[in-house]
Amino acid sequence: MRNRFDAQLNKLNNSLIEMGALVEVAIGNATHAFETQDAELAKTVLAADDLVDTKERDIEARCLKLLLSQQPVARDLRQISTALKMITDLERIGDHAIDICELSLFLSDQNYILNPENIPVMASVTQKMVTESIDAFVKKDLKLAKAVIARDDVVDELFGKTKTELIKLVHSNADLGEQAFDLLQIAKYYERIGDHAVNVAEWVIFSITGKHKDTQVL
Amino acid sequence: MKKKIFKNIALVSSVCVLLTGVFLCLVFYFQLGDVVKTELQNRANAYIDFSYEDVENSLADVDESDIRVTLVAPNGTVVFDNTANATTLENHTDRIEIKEALESGSGQSSRLSQTLGEETYYYAVKLSDGYILRTAKTADSVLAVFARNLLLFALIMLAVLTLCYCFSARLAKRIVAPINKINFDEPNTVYDELAPFMRTITSQRSQIEKDMQALRARQDTINTIMDNMSEGAVLVDNKENLLYVNKGAKKLFSFANNGQGQNLRALFRDAELLAVAKSTLSGEHCETNRNIGGREYQIYGSPVAGVGAILLFVDVTEKAKAEKLRREFSANVSHELKTPLTSIAGYAELLTNGVAKQEDTAGFLQKIKAESDRLSQLVEDIMLLSGLDEGQATANIESVELAKVAYEVKELLAKKTEKNAVKINITAADDVIIKANYSHMHQLLFNLMENAVKYNKSGGTVEVSIQQKNGHPKLTVADTGIGIPTAEQARIFERFYRVDKSRSKTLGGTGLGLAIVKHICMIYEAKIDVKSTEEKGTKISVTF
């Protein structure tokens, strides 16, 4: 009985890692598509979103089934509830990758108005946060999860910088307003991705310690 | 062991006790019988000379209540019995003892009373008057003796068995104790009976020790090989759990612990790599290329029967780069060879068809000459380069005075310098001599100085300086020309690489000059340093 349950938990874990990998690839490709204005790449990311959604539903169904049939307690319960919460954040990250791709597709035939220095930095930092939050989950690494949470400040700061830069540009030339808005949106999406990575990291910490945001939940 | 010993001892002792008991009973029974018989005989014989009346009289006086006395008339009728009423008793002539007494004067017999487990002994004598006096006494039969002592036997048996049990437990312990304490390193046998057993064990032990050592050595060798190879190796079982991750693979995926028992996904979660692992586990040999962490890896998956699969990650970045360079090189070579050939073929066709006007012929021929010169120069350069590639360098080493070579090259370039209005200034320290192949040095200086002239501005200068610096000969060629953009500086030593492709046609050259320079420098382990500013000039120094 316990063996079967363990095998099911294992499978759940593997599915979660696979979903993480899908999201990682999506955000990596989205960033690349944005930076190189590669419309084809952007389209492949858009096409791959279904995979993430299917995976989310699959994991969700699995979690509910396990909760119902096994009535888990303690660590098992934490693991399953973590999975249930994590997939929401992962799916949101995947959605933001799609949003970035859609905007990149729209911008792919325009010259970027500002030398987009901060946005690629934001992109690489958030991408790393996503990778590390999934790594933390895979390796059950508390330290790594905390490092991810700490790095969110960097992203927030970069977002602020990008915003001021864009405001300056629009002040100097009102015609640049449209693209400035799009770029700001992209920056915002990255900032949101960073927040979701933090959420994932927090759930990882919960699955290890039973504490979520420093309150003992389970 | 205890049980076995107990069983055996208990069996032996029980049989002993039983046999002793039976034997004792029998002896006791027979002796008792003898005693009773003798007593009866003595008592009867005491009356042998008496007549019937005497006996009757004396019996009234003497108490004979412990035995039964019977007087029988010669016709067998019982006339007296001290324990029963004589008249009720039947005729006794058919009794064995009476019969015997009638015939021979005395007789005896014994009869078993089955219900009572008793035996009655009889003795009869013939009195002087023909009457028969019979004495009788009842004693226990064998079975009765036995039955009477049965409880005793049982008690003895119980005691013996208890003793056996304790004894066998202790015996087993005592037998086993030395065996348990056997030190196999010093096989001084405890029991002689165990000597062959000990010998076998000792020899097997040393065999096992040897085998283990061999195994360990092999394991060490395998581990050393696995850990020191630059390729990553990962062994997974059928359930996608890691069995072994070598150092290369750990480094590749920045994996910290040894991973044993963890899921493969802890190592990597790339969908394509997982797909490779899966299909390998299903028994297929797989091979794929994948970019991991910015480097190109070739991944081989081989199923391992009964275990799972092994995945090998081979870094092919350099190979891929070299492959790309080679492809580019051959494409460039064919392109560069084709261009002059096309011109030559074109002009030659015009001439042979007679289409060319008489006055153009000389010009065409000159062009054919120029193009074939370019072609042969190109072929020469390529041959030189491949020669340098194959390391024919060390032939014809002599002492070469660099300054002399520089002046020679200046002479050779005289025409070009005049055309471009460029001045070459050579400042050379005395006696800067290096051991080298003369033609290599010539090529080196020629290519550097020619470039400096070619890519110079009209009225510019080329400063060639040859000096001894910190004991190393240093050659510097500086021009005041167009310079090289910073982004391109890394690539100028590549074969056929041109910074400005449009310029190459007008200026000529093969695009191999700096590649040759680089190769020569590599052979003489010289360091090339490029400093260039666009529109200001380039300074290339070579330190030997």
What are the DSSP calls for B460-521, one per residue?
-EEEEEEEEETTEEEEEEEE-S----GGGGGGTTSTT--SSHHHHHHH---S-HHHHHHHHH
On the question of pLDDT at B364 being above 80, the answer is: yes
User: Tell me, what amino acid is at B41?
Assistant: Q
CB atoms near residue B540 (< 10 Å): 21
Band the pLDDT of B188: cuts 50, 70, 90. Answer: low
Query: In what helix (H) or strand (E) does residue B75 lie, and over which residues does it extend?
Result: none
CB within 8 Å: A18 and B266: no
**Arithmetic mean of pLDDT, B134-163:** 82
Interface test with B, best of A138, A142, A204 (most B CBs within 10 A): A138
- Report the pLDDT value the prediction gives residue B217, as an integer from 0 to 100: 93
pLDDT for B216? 94
DSSP string, B199-237: HHHHHHHHHHHHHHHHHHHHHHHHHHHHHHSSSEEEEEE
Q: Which chain B residues touch A10 with a CB distance below 8 Å?
A: 263
Q: What is the pLDDT of residues B58-112, one digit of tens each?
A: 776 666 677 888 888 888 888 888 777 777 778 887 888 888 888 888 888 888 7
- Tokens matching residue A182: 């799009």
Q: Is B411 exposed, middle or buried (0-12, 13-18, 19+ CB in 10 A)?
A: exposed
pLDDT of residue B395: 67
Residue B462, strand partner residues: B424, B479
Q: How confident is the model at residue B506 (pLDDT cuts 50, 70, 90)?
A: low
**With 70 as the cut, is the pLDDT of residue B274 above it?**
yes
Q: Would an 8 Å CB–CB cutoff place B118 in contact with chain A? A: no
By 3-state DSSP, what share of chain B in percent is helix, strand and coil, each rounded to 5? 55, 20, 25
Which chain B residues are closer than 8 Å to A20 by Cβ?
269
Residues A119 and A159 sit within 8 Å (Cβ to Cβ): no
Question: H helices of B229-316, where?
Answer: 247-252, 271-281
Mean pLDDT, chain A, integer: 84
- Subunit contact A24:B274, Cβ cutoff 8 A: no
The CA-atom distances, in angstroms, between B161 and each of A39, B3, B15, B152, B176 are 99, 13, 11, 14, 22
pLDDT of residue B213: 95
Q: Is the pLDDT of residue B399 over 70?
A: yes
Q: Which of A85-94, A173-182, B357-366 has the highest mean pLDDT?
A: A85-94
Query: Which residues in chain B are contacts of A24 at CB distance < 8 A?
Result: 269
pLDDT tens-digit readout, A143-158: 888 888 888 888 888 8
Is some CB atom of chain A closer than 8 A to the CB atom of B263? yes
- Is ipTM over 0.85? no
Q: Which percentage of chain B shows pLDDT scores above 90?
A: 2
Partner residue facing B271 (CB), from A22, A134, A138:
A22
Identify the DSSP state of B183.
-
A20 Cβ under 8 Å from any chain B Cβ: yes
Q: How confident is the model over A87-138, as pLDDT tens digits?
A: 899 899 989 988 988 888 888 777 777 665 778 888 888 888 888 888 888 8
Cα of A177 to nearest chain B Cα, Å: 33
pLDDT at B211: 95
Mean of the per-residue pLDDT values for chain B?
Answer: 81
Rounded average pLDDT over B3-19: 85
How far is A24 from chain B, CA to nearest CA, in Å?
9
pLDDT tens-digit map of B201-221: 888 988 999 999 999 999 899
Q: Is A25 on the interface with B (CB under 8 A)?
A: yes
* Chain-chain contact of B265 with A17 (C-beta, under 8 angstroms): yes
Query: What are the CB-based long-range contacts (under 8 Å, 24+) for B249-256?
Result: B249/B313, B252/B292, B252/B293, B252/B297, B252/B313, B253/B292, B256/A139
Closest CA to B534 of B499, B493, B505: B499
Q: Could you read off the pLDDT of B321-360 as tens digits, one per residue?
A: 888 888 887 887 787 788 788 888 888 888 888 777 778 7
By CB neighbour count within 10 A (0-12 exposed, 13-18 middle, 19+ buried), where does B387 fall?
A: middle
Residue B252, pLDDT > 90, answer no
What part of B 217-246 touches A (C-beta under 8 Å)?
A: 240
Residue B301 above 70 pLDDT? Answer: yes
pLDDT band at B392 (very low <50, low <70, confident <90, very high): low
The reply to whether residue A14 touches residue B263, judged by beta carbons under 8 angstroms, is yes
pLDDT per residue over A49-59, tens digit each? 888 888 889 98
CATH of A2-216, one of 3.30.360.10, 3.40.50.2000, 1.10.579.10, 1.20.58.220: 1.20.58.220
Residues 6+ positions from B8 with CB-CB distance below 8 Å: none
Cα B492 versus chain centre, distance: 54
Q: Rounded to whole angstroms, how far apart are CA atoms B141 and B15? A: 23
Mean pLDDT of B221-226: 86
DSSP class of residue A48?
A: H
Nearest to B265 among A14, A22, A25 (CB): A14
Considering only CA atoms, which of B496, B490, B484, B497 is closest in space to residue B537?
A: B484
B540/B520 Cα distance (integer angstroms): 14
Please list every residue in chain B whose beta carbon sits closer than 8 Å to the beta carbon of residue A132.
none
Confidence of residue B187 (pLDDT cuts 50, 70, 90): low
| Other CB atoms within 10 A of residue A9 CB | 19
Within an 8 Å CB–CB cutoff, is residue A218 touching chain B?
Answer: no
**Residues of A with CB below 8 A from B263's CB?**
10, 13-14, 17
Three-class DSSP category at B67: coil
The residues near B14 (Cβ < 8 Å, ≥ 6 apart) are B157, B160, B161
For residue A162, count CB atoms less than 10 angstroms from its CB and return exposed for 0-12, middle for 13-18, buried for 19 or more: buried
Angle (nearest 5°) at CA A129 between A112 and B246: 120
- This prediction's pTM: 0.54
Give the closest-approach CA distance of A139 to chain B in angstroms: 6
Find the angle CA(B103)-CA(B106)-CA(B111) to the nearest 5 degrees: 105
Q: What does the pLDDT average to over B128-150?
A: 80
Residues of B in contact with A14 (CB under 8 A): 240, 263, 265
Across the A:B interface, residue pairs with CB atoms under 8 Å apart total: 28
> Among the residues of A111-141, which ranges form H helices?
118-139
The residues near B141 (Cβ < 8 Å, ≥ 6 apart) are: B29, B112, B113, B117, B118, B119
Share of chain A above pLDDT 70, in %: 98
Q: Which of B263, B266, B270 sits opposite A21 (nearest CB)?
A: B270
Q: Does residue B393 have a pLDDT over 60?
A: no
Q: Residue B494 pLDDT more than 80? A: no
Contact A131, A124 (CB under 8 A): no
What is the rounded CA–CA span in Å between residue B50 and residue B71? 12
Question: d(Cα B347, Cα B340) in Å, to the nearest integer?
Answer: 11
What is the per-residue pLDDT for B375?
Answer: 84
Place A173 in a pLDDT band, splitting at 50, 70 and 90: confident
pLDDT tier for residue B391 given thresholds of 50, 70 and 90: low
Helices then strands, each counted (H, E), chain A? 6, 2
